[in-house]
Structures are given as C-alpha cells and as structure tokens.
C-alpha cells in the first residue's frame, strides 16, 4: 500500500509505503539534491533489556546489549560491511539510543547498490563465541571513555536522580561487567525478537527513483512472521529518587545539569511536542529573560544548552553547562520558573519563540540527514512530521501555558553537579 503525504505549508510531499514484508518505508524525494541518505532501524534500544519473547517467556538480557548488537551486525562471514560502502564511495554508520538502533549511509551515486548493502547486512546476523568475545575489549574501552567524560557522567547522574525504576538511568553501552556476560545466544534472541520488519523502519531521502527502490525492496526484504515479542518497561512512579547528586572530576569549572521529569503513559502527540519545543525556547533560549539574567550574573557561558528527551515511556527536560556556582544558577532557574507559573508569559516572548522554532523546523527540511532522522524518530512514536509542522503553526499562548503545567514541575526537579577535584 502506498500513500502520498503533502504539506501545504512546505509545498512538499513524501511517500509512505507499507511493504508486503511488514516494513514501513518513507521516501522523501529531493530530485534537485546531489546527495542521498537512507536510515534503516529497529525500535530496540538500551532500555529494552527486559521483554516477553516471541513465545511469551519473560527474558532479561545484560545492560548494553542493544549497543553491542549494533557493533556486531556490521560483521558477517563475508567480512566487514563498511568495506562494501567504502567501495562505492558511500559513508556508513550506526547509532544506538535509549529506544532505537539505526543503521545509515549517505552517498552521491550508486544509491540502490548501497541500499542493497544496507538491507542485506542488517538482515544477516552472524554471531560466534569468537567474534563476540573479540568485541568485548573494543566496547569496554568505549565504556571507559564515557566513564571518564564529565559531560556524560553529569547527565547519567541526573537520570539516576530523576528516575527510580526506568532503565533510562542505565548507561547506553552498559558496564564492563555487564557486556562480559553477553553471548551469541542472547544477541540472537534480541535480534530475532526485535529486528522484525514489523518493528523496523526505512527512510530514504534524496534523488531517488521510486520504481528502482520498490524493486530493491522486493528483492532484499525477507518475509517474516508478525512480531509477537513485547518490550517490558518497569512501572515508574511520578516522583523522583533524589533532588541532588554530585561527583568530583578533573575539571576546571563545575558542570551542572538541572532536570525536570514528566510522567508519561504514551508518546507525546504532535501538538504536545510542538508546544514543548516552543516552551523550551521561551524558558531557556538565548533571548529569554532567564538566559540574560544567568549571563549577566556570570553563572553560565557559551556551553549552556537545553534538551527535551522523550519517547513513548519517558519525557524529561535537561539544561545546564559550565558554571562557577551551579547551586546559585539552579536557584535562579527555579525562581524564574516559579514566577512564570505565577505571572505567565508575555505575548511578545511567545511570538519570538514561535518564529524561531518554526523557522528552525522548516529549515531542517533542507537536510537529507535531518529529514530522515526526524521521520524515523516520529514513526517510532506514532507521529507524522507534517502534522507536527501544522500543529506548530497553530499554537497559541494558552497551549504553551497548558503544556508547561504538564511538563515542568519543581516537585519533579533534580540537580546534578560535577565538581572540580
């Protein structure tokens, strides 16, 4: 089944294909572009260490296995998949997040050849005791590198303060101890349960011939049984574990992250996400009164940033950077938010934020990589990118005030600090 989706705002269209194999495919034609980009991934990330397998058995696998599986899929009996992409001049990569694993490539020509390579290696797992053991040293070094990163630690320390049961608090790559327990059997179990085409997505953006792409899909996609495995995320209380955490590191200035946890039962709607994006800009953007106050008091520098992290089982806001006095910065941020609840936002603040967020959203459609990444992420949360743009264009100040009540709570707030030794 093929569906054409059109945006009257952007005056652009893309195609959604429900392939007979069960895979959802999105094709965003950009015939005027010289480069093309494709991403093929599964809704399987670091939080999915507990699940009911295809036979209904509760299964628990070691932390970090999704990231480990990502590494191992590039290796087959025929050699390293990277070599195939390099032979055509393409650039390939992959990444694992909390809730998904994505494999990708970009190229200027030979798109179908590279797409064939992508589909083939992701659908051809090859794990042996020897190859799995060989990877442990490589990933252990990666884990140690992250353990030595103050920016990484300040974030995961914050997750461990905000969350009580949710596996978001577990490092993406696991620990050296947890990955030492990973076996080929467990890798195959995760692969067979989650790398089902029902649970995957393919997004292709660029100068792409639809007929050639359809022929490639028919040729490469392997028929599969419908997916029956079910992810199992522990029930998370609305409250937080603790309001403050700190760690000492070899840093010249303290680093902080202040976080706000939002209880969620399902993925946010397009309207909620759009309102969140504008709200974040209004509260923490460079033109906000809060940013100016922190800057004038020399409590932040150009490392300051903010992020809204969300999926269908979690949603949280993180903000921070270097600061000579993290506690004072957090105190000012909390006081500003409290005042916003009391006094509300000014119309001109909303108008400025909306224009900025809307402009950035529209500009993202000039990037093949940006389009593919956004559509893939939206798909796994049951959202559609053009509907998000539509909802963004219709937002009102009342929508922002309502969203703030849902998303920001001083009762569900925690501060993580990295102090100089």
One DSSP character per residue, 69-117 reads: HHHHHTEETTEEHHHHHHHTT-EEEEEE-SS-EEEEEEESS-HHHHHHH
Domain boundaries, the chain: 2-231, 244-420
Tokens 């103050």 -> residue: 150
pLDDT single digits (tens) 354-405 = 999 999 999 999 999 999 999 999 999 999 999 999 999 999 999 999 999 9
Per-residue pLDDT at 78: 75
Q: Is 70 a catalytic site residue?
A: yes
Q: Is the pLDDT of residue 99 over 80?
A: yes
Per-residue pLDDT at 1: 84
Among residues 3, 18, 55, 70, the one annotated as catalytic is 70
3-class secondary structure, 199: helix
2-231 and 244-420: identical CATH topology = yes
Which superfamily is assigned to 244-420 in CATH?
Metalloenzyme, LuxS/M16 peptidase-like (3.30.830.10)
pLDDT single digits (tens) 185-194 = 999 999 999 9
pLDDT single digits (tens) 241-281 = 999 999 999 999 999 999 999 999 899 999 999 999 999 99
CA distance 279 to 311: 18
Percent of the chain with pLDDT over 70: 100
The pTM (predicted TM-score) of the whole model is 0.95
Tokens standing for 214?
A: 């359809």
- CA–CA–CA angle 221, 222, 224 (5° rounding): 125
In this prediction, residue 224 has a pLDDT band, given cuts at 50, 70 and 90, of confident
What is the third-level CATH fold of 2-231? Cytochrome Bc1 Complex; Chain A, domain 1 (3.30.830)
What average pLDDT does the structure give for the chain? Answer: 96
Q: Which helix H or strand E contains 257, and what residues bound it?
A: strand 255-261
3-class secondary structure, 130: helix
Q: Is 282 exposed, middle or buried (CB count within 10 Å of its CB: 0-12, 13-18, 19+)? A: buried
Q: Is the pLDDT of residue 77 over 80?
A: no
């Amino acid at each position: 089944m093929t569906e054409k989706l059109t945006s009257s705002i952007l005056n652009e269209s893309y195609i959604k294909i429900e392939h007979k194999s069960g895979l959802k495919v999105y094709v965003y034609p950009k015939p005027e572009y010289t480069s093309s980009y494709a991403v093929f991934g599964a809704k399987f990330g670091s939080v999915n260490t507990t699940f009911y397998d295809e036979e209904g058995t509760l299964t628990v696998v070691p932390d970090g296995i999704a990231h480990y599986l990502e590494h191992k899929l590039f290796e087959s009996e025929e050699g390293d998949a990277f070599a195939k992409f390099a032979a055509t001049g393409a650039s390939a990569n992959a990444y694992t997040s909390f809730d998904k694993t994505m494999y990708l490539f970009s190229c200027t020509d030979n798109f179908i050849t590279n797409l064939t390579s992508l589909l083939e290696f992701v659908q051809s797992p090859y794990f042996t005791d020897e190859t799995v053991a060989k990877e442990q040293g490589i990933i252990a070094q990666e884990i140690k590198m992250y353990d030595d990163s103050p920016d990484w630690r300040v974030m995961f320390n914050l997750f461990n303060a905000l969350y009580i049961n949710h596996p978001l608090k577990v490092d993406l790559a696991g620990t050296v101890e947890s990955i030492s327990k990973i076996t080929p059997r467990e890798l195959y179990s995760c692969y067979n349960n989650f790398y089902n085409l029902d649970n995957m997505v393919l997004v292709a953006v660029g100068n792409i011939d639809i007929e050639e792409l359809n022929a490639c899909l028919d040729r490469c996609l392997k028929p599969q049984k419908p997916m029956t495995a079910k992810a199992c995320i522990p029930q998370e209380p609305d409250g937080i574990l603790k309001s403050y955490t700190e760690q000492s590191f070899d840093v010249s200035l303290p680093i902080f992250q202040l976080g706000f946890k939002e209880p969620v039962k399902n993925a946010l709607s397009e309207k909620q996400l759009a309102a969140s994006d504008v709200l974040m800009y209004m509260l923490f953007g460079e033109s906000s009164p809060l940013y100016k106050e922190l800057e004038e008091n020399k409590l932040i520098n150009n490392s300051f940033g903010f992020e809204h992290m969300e999926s269908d089982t979690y949603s949280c806001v993180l903000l921070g950077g270097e600061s000579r006095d993290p506690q004072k910065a957090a105190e000012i941020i909390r006081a500003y938010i409290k005042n916003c609840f009391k006094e509300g936002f000014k119309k001109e603040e909303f108008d400025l934020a909306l224009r900025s967020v809307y402009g950035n959203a529209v500009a993202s459609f000039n990037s093949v990589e940006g389009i593919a990444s956004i559509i893939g992420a939206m798909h796994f949360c049951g959202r559609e990118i053009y509907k998000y743009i539509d909802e963004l264009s219709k937002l009102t100040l009342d929508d922002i005030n309502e969203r703030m009540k849902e998303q920001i709570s001083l009762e569900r707030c925690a501060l993580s600090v990295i102090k100089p030794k």
